[in-house]
Amino acid sequence: MTHPLIAEVRASLKKVADPVKAPQMQAYMKSAMPYRGVSSPEQKAIWKTVFAGHPLESSDVWQRVALTLWREATFREERYGAIALTGLRQYASYRTVAAVPMFEEMIVTGAWWDFVDAIAGRQLGDILRAEPSRMSKLMRRWSRDPDMWKRRSSILCQLTFKRDTDLKLLYECIEPNLDDKQFFIRKAIGWALRQHAWTDPREVKRYVKANRERLSNLSVREALKNVG
């Protein structure tokens, strides 16, 4: 039986679908999965209403509902809904290492920046804050994983940490990827460094100078974008 939250998400998206916007959104995201044509503000309004009306009483139910919404999605917005559900403040206590397999599945099967960056920058970061020892070990393993999106996630998981950034962890997640030719890895390295430069520009300049021979031009440009 379909959980009422899932049924209402699907019905709400269908109700405000825009057949003109849908193919444009799909083309922009280079997505094989079609869109309903629901804008980001409209999606947020739907999530706010639907999620508030269907509280999930346990971590197991939360994961089951999110994964069902993810796995059975026929439109990309449904997967955005699954990600939004897993990032709700009210479920912060559910974001533990036990939830990592769910996020890993979303990252590996989603395999595109819109899904991966949302999960890495928020959900994985929350788990890292809550369980730094276990999660740091896992992110170091992910930084060497054959899957590019898991490696990107390990680099981006501290995007919101500011002065709490574990530089040793960040650099150890970047290091195995310095010679990678993939655009999404090079961009992630630069993005992570640029984000930390808002807090400590001198350290980022030092790191870039020390690793200039291995850092790609793209990573360097991104890292130093806001540094004088």
Q: Encode pLDDT of 3-55 as tens digits.
A: 999 999 999 999 999 999 999 999 999 999 999 999 999 999 999 999 999 99
pLDDT reported for residue 23: 98
Q: Are 68 and 105 in contact (CB under 8 A)?
A: no
* pLDDT tops 90 at residue 1: no
pLDDT reported for residue 226: 85
Q: Encode pLDDT of 176-204 as tens digits.
A: 999 999 999 999 999 999 999 999 999 99
List all residues 6 or more positions away from 147 whose beta carbon is below 8 Å from its beta carbon: 107, 108
**Buried (b) or exposed (e) across 136-159, using 16+ Cβ within 10 A?**
bebbeebbeeeebbbbbbbbbbbb
Q: Are 165 and 155 in contact (CB under 8 A)?
A: no
Q: Are 143 and 169 in contact (CB under 8 A)?
A: no
Q: Are 153 and 135 in contact (CB under 8 A)?
A: no
Q: Are 197 and 226 in contact (CB under 8 A)?
A: yes
The reported pTM is 0.95
pLDDT reported for residue 89: 96
User: What domains can be seen in the chain, in order of their start residue?
Assistant: 1-94 (1.25.10.90), 111-228 (1.25.10.90)
Cα 142 from Cα 183, distance rounded (Å): 18
pLDDT reported for residue 65: 98
* pLDDT tops 90 at residue 152: yes
Q: Encode pLDDT of 55-110 as tens digits.
A: 999 999 999 999 999 999 999 999 999 999 999 999 999 999 999 999 999 999 99
pLDDT reported for residue 54: 97
pLDDT reported for residue 227: 87
